[in-house]
Amino acid sequence: MTVYAVPGSDGSAMTYAERYDHWIGGEWVPPASGEYFENPSPVTGQTFTEVARGTAADIERALDAAHAAAPAWGRTSVAARSVILNKIADRIEQNLEAIAVAETWDNGKPVRECLAADIPLVVDHLRYFAGVVRAQEGGISQIDDDTVAYHFHEPLGVVGQIIPWNFPILMAIWKLAPALAAGNCVVLKPAEQTPASIMFLVGLIGDLLPPGVVNIVNGFGVEAGKPLASNPRIRKIAFTGETTTGRLIMQYASQNLIPVTLELGGKSPNVFFEDVASARDDFYDKALEGFTMFALNSGEVCTCPSRALIQSSIYDAFLGDAVERTKAIVQGNPLDTATMIGAQASNDQLEKILSYIDIGKQEGARLVTGGERADLGGELAGGYYVTPTIFEGDNSMRIFQEEIFGPVLAVTRFDGVDDALKIANDTLYGLGAGVWSRNIHTAYRMGRGIQAGRVWTNNYHAYPAHAAFGGYKSSGIGRENHKMMLDHYQQTKNLLVSYSTSKLGFF
Amino acid sequence: MTQETSRTGERVAVTEAAAAQLRRLRRRNGPLMFHQSGGCCDGSSPMCFPDGDFITSDADVLLGDLAVAGEGDDEAFTVPVWMSREQFQLWSHTHLTIDLVKGRGAGFSLEAPDGVRFLIRSRLLTAAGEPGELSGPVSCELPPG
């Protein structure tokens, strides 16, 4: 096992700059206001860099750069764009450790996840869209003997993207890779909780893109995000976040008549059928890990399996084993590769999680394990740590209905497929779900019956580029990942061509 | 949590720390509103906007008006608190107090640049005289079920 040195210290894999300006038109640009905001690491609570505090003037400057670049970038051959995306992927792969450490320091997540999941997925998503855009074809429809409809894909132009703080770099690439592959230019605003790692990344890869194709403006939502989302100079807005801001962004989009992609979270059920426990084998072990996935990324995942539904006949024994697995989670220094759960991303996130643990207790849910802030002592004493927490209760309780975005699991029981489906679908959201069964009929019926965009079946928290991701119900609009994502960033141009020399005869 | 300025019969309240922040925001932005969010990332946070910036509709319910007392040159004012109707059906048994903590950002909420975040603290509505359903002039009728 390895403990990575703190960024900037002797032997560290990377060093953050003392200050980050915006990235506009292929260069670092100071904020128009001259103001910067401090960025603390959730690992220690201590500020490690300061970041440009963007305003409407910076957004307009970024849009100027994007619009200047868009015509040429949109005409670039798909082969040329593909090469650039592959070069970015290669550069990231060559610097994987440094980027992983940067991400951990900005976000608080365990570096083992950055090394094994976040950053390798970033590389793979770039390569996927570099490849799949070259396989994309338009269409030809033979309307009649002399008339042909040609369908071309064209880029939208300049698009806006607002990125969440839970996977700062991966979520940025989820949005950037298809947008760039499809020939768009982007103005992107990172989350103000995690503004630094993506600036470190752009410092590594910025030279690979023509100036103005990607522009990054940091700042607060109300000061920089709103002028971007409401701007009439973007042809689309993509947002990952929560429902109120999602609705607000749709309101702005309706005023500008532009499309939106919204990913707004979930309250994902993870359903364990009795046959899971018919043997104490590798599959049983896998299912226990699947249960414990609620702690991945400190629970800060839109698809966190934050409700576990266990069939009554195995409830006590399975929960007992699952609690043991949960108690074995190693909490500690996120820069230690042995650490399984790190820090929550911000102080207010920590406070919110604790407020949910409080209402869970008030509603009569039974606290099985965890349920408190963890003080890891030493330099980590100021960080934002919560012990993995399991409650037993009823699906009507607020801890079963609201996305806590922390390592807090709400467990209940069910009897049979119909009951499982009823509880699983009794939620406002429909982003992810998990089904665990050795019976293909049960698994299929549940998978089709759950109202969610993705149902992991006998696995959980896998995010391959070639699988569509997105929400039913209040979890959002549109999809991310998969070839179909290209459509979200493209116009359809139809040329309707007559090869007939005869008039119609109307006039 | 600081002392909340709750009165019997209300389902929303505000702490002194949050009220002081609302006074600052009103000086800068004029009349204010809250819309309680749900879902991802900064979800479950009360979002503070200039009043009317977020368009409410029949899809929302008005939980009540926070009464913020006057102080110094600031006159007393109220801040309406909204929530989506479907979310309210799951929250209706709880009393909500809007508090203020140190923090960073949440959507387009107005307080974030000040390094603070509004935060919901909840308790069960069990005390005598507390509403089980919305009623009175701040109410919307809920659909059956």
DSSP string of A56-91? HHHHHHHHHHHHHHHHHHHHS-HHHHHHHHHHHHHH
Predicted pLDDT of residue B2: 43
Select from B135, B47, B7 the least CA-distant residue to A348: B47
3-state secondary structure of A351: helix
| Closest chain B C-alpha to A184 CA, distance in angstroms | 25
Nearest C-alpha in A relative to B49: A222
Nearest C-alpha in A relative to B101: A348
Q: What is the DSSP letter of A320?
A: H
Q: Does B39 contact A242 at a Cβ distance shorter than 8 Å?
A: yes
Average pLDDT over chain A, rounded to an integer: 97
Task: Convert A186-216 into a string of H (helix), E (strand) and C (coil).
Answer: EEEECCCCCCCHHHHHHHHHHHHCCCCCEEE
Of B38, B44, B49, the CB nearest to A352: B44
Q: Does B101 contact A351 at a Cβ distance shorter than 8 Å?
A: yes
pTM for the model stands at 0.95
Predicted pLDDT of residue A473: 97
Q: What is the DSSP letter of A100?
A: H
Predicted pLDDT of residue A1: 82
Q: How confident is the model at residue B6 (pLDDT cuts 50, 70, 90)?
A: very low
Q: Does A351 contact B120 at a Cβ distance shorter than 8 Å?
A: no
Given a cut of 90, whether residue B138 has pLDDT beyond it is no
For chain B, which domains are there? 4-124 (2.60.300)
3-state secondary structure of B122: strand
Summarised one tens digit per residue, pLDDT across range B23-70 is 999 999 999 999 999 987 777 899 999 999 999 999 999 999 999 999
Q: Which residue has the higher pLDDT, B43 or A392?
A: A392
Query: What are A209's two structure tokens?
Result: 């893109």
3-state secondary structure of A485: helix
3-state secondary structure of A94: helix
Could you report the predicted ipTM of this complex, rounded to two decimals? 0.93
Predicted pLDDT of residue B103: 86
Stretch 64-123 of chain B: residues touching chain A, C-beta under 8 Å: 84, 86-87, 90-91, 94, 101-110, 112-113, 117, 119-123
Of B91, B107, B117, the CB nearest to A244: B107
pLDDT average, residue stretch A190-204: 97
- Contact list in A for residue B119 (CB cut-off 8 A) is 348, 351-352, 355
Output the CA–CA distances (angstroms, integers) from residue A90 to A125, A169, A216, A251, B29, in the order listed: 12, 15, 21, 39, 47
Given a cut of 80, whether residue A458 has pLDDT beyond it is yes
Summarised one tens digit per residue, pLDDT across range A114-166 is 999 999 999 999 999 999 999 999 999 999 999 999 999 999 999 999 999 99
Q: Cα–Cα distance between A437 and A273 in angstroms, integer?
A: 5
Select from B14, B45, B20 the least CA-distant residue to B107: B45
Summarised one tens digit per residue, pLDDT across range A71-106 is 999 999 999 999 999 999 999 999 999 999 999 999
Summarised one tens digit per residue, pLDDT across range A310-364 is 999 999 999 999 999 999 999 999 999 999 999 999 888 999 999 999 999 999 9
Q: How confident is the model at residue B129 (pLDDT cuts 50, 70, 90)?
A: low
Q: Does B90 contact A53 at a Cβ distance shorter than 8 Å?
A: no
Given a cut of 80, whether residue A420 has pLDDT beyond it is yes
Q: Cα–Cα distance between A227 and A218 in angstroms, integer?
A: 12
Q: Which residue has the higher pLDDT, A348 or A423?
A: A423
Summarised one tens digit per residue, pLDDT across range B64-123 is 999 999 999 999 999 999 999 999 999 999 999 999 999 887 789 999 999 999 999 999
Summarised one tens digit per residue, pLDDT across range A128-142 is 999 999 999 999 999
Q: Cα–Cα distance between B105 and A138 in angstroms, integer?
A: 42
Residues 6+ apart with CB under 8 A from A28: A20, A21, A22
Predicted pLDDT of residue B42: 76
Summarised one tens digit per residue, pLDDT across range A27-37 is 999 999 999 99
Q: Cα–Cα distance between A39 and B98 in angstroms, integer?
A: 25
